[in-house]
Amino acid sequence: MNNIVKKRVVTDIELEHVVQMALMSKDENRACYAALLLCCFGTGMKPSELTKLIVSDYLNEEGLIRTPSLVRAEIAFNACERPIYWLNQLSNISNTLLVVMDSYLATRIGAGMGRRIGVPFRGLDPSAPLFVSLPTTEVHPVFSQSRVPFRAEQVTMLISRLFELAGMAKVTSQCARRSLAIKLLRRGISPRFIGELLGLSSQRAIKLLCMDVKTSLHDVMHGGGQSESSLASLY
């Protein structure tokens, strides 16, 4: 786990750039790719968890966003239930996530993966996987191994590939969890709550995830400086 401290922290601006590049691609799955990126960085879920989400984990019967939702124990990496906050006032990407998810779910209905508009769960099967790929006709798709539904290793490769296309190497799904944890810590959120969100019960695990962070003057002046109280509680 010591290699976690070497993982880079992705800023919201960098993430937005990669998301925009994904959305501008000609791949039929561009909305799904962008949604997966935003969910990974916005919720801290692991690829193995994202790929096991179902429609009803995101939508309620009325077709509204389920708030809060849950990483069910049967899909959680540690077999422990924990909350998912799709609507997150502490995240600058929360609104973008919701817009992109709406766009992605609309493509599923348009591709015949939904039943009909105006029915429960926006016409989608509530027990169907939340993230599925469409058949692609692109000669050079962003991710050539596209299948229905996604596998965890596909999502892991997808995240790295999308960042590589944007000129950022060695960005992994672990970077997403680290980036979210550090963002929350800088905003004064207790490490205990960060651990609860990410499924980490060990103080040492949270400390390793958040350590070795350098705060710049820019971070401080824009409200992103390290919270002394939150940082101190790690030691």
Q: Give residue-wise pLDDT tens across range 56-93.
A: 999 999 999 998 899 999 999 999 999 999 987 777 77
Question: Could you say which of 165, 188, 223 is where a domain stops?
Answer: 165
Q: Give residue-wise pLDDT tens across range 7-41.
A: 788 999 999 999 999 999 888 899 999 999 999 99
Question: Could you say which of 111, 136, 165 is where a domain stops?
Answer: 165
Q: Tell me the three state secondary structure of residue 158.
A: helix
> Residue 147 corresponds to which tokens in the numbers above?
């299948």
Residue 187 pLDDT greater than 90, yes or no: no
DSSP conformation class of 119? S
Domain assignment of residue 1, yes or no: no
Residues 152 and 192 in one domain: no
Range of the domain at 59: 8-165
Question: Could you say which of 143, 165, 187 is where a domain stops?
Answer: 165
Domain assignment of residue 36, yes or no: yes
Q: Give residue-wise pLDDT tens across range 158-167.
A: 999 999 999 9
pLDDT band at 196 (very low <50, low <70, confident <90, very high): very high
Domain of 114, CATH number, reads 1.10.443.10
> Residue 201 corresponds to which tokens in the numbers above?
């019960």
> Residue 31 corresponds to which tokens in the numbers above?
């909305």
The CA distance from 52 to 54, in Å, is: 6
Domain assignment of residue 170, yes or no: no
